[in-house]
Amino acid sequence: MCGRFTLRTPAHRLAAAFGVDALPNLAPRYNIAPTQEIVAIRMTPAGRRLVRLRWGLIPHWARDPAIGARLINARAETVAEKPSFRDAFRHRRCLIAADGFYEWQNCEAGPKQPYFIHLEKDPPFAFAGLWERWRGDGETVETASIITTEASAALRPIHGRMPVILPPAAHDAWLGETPAERSKTLLIPYAGADLRADPVARHVNNARHDDPDCLAPPAPE
Question: What does each C-alpha distance from 53 to 38, 50, 118, 192 come to in angstroms?
Answer: 5, 10, 22, 28
Taking only Cα atoms into account, the Rg of the chain, rounded to an integer number of angstroms, comes to 17
- Count of helices and strands (H, E) across the chain: 4, 13
Please say if 142 is a catalytic residue: no
Q: How far apart are CA 207 and CA 221, in angstroms?
A: 24
Which runs of consecutive H residues, i.e. helices, occur in 81-170?
86-91
> Does the active-site annotation cover 120?
no
Among candidate residues 103, 132, 142, 214, the one labeled active-site is 103
DSSP-assigned letter for residue 205: G
Candidates 138, 123, 114; CA nearest to 207 is: 114
Residue 170: count other Cβ atoms within 10 Å of its Cβ.
20
Strand 73-75 relative to strand 139-150: parallel, antiparallel, unpaired?
A: parallel
- Of 2, 94, 142, 214, which residue is the catalytic one? 2
Q: What angle do CA 176, 38, 10 make, to 5 degrees?
A: 95
What's the start-to-end Cα distance of the chain, in Å? 28
- Catalytic site residues? 2, 103
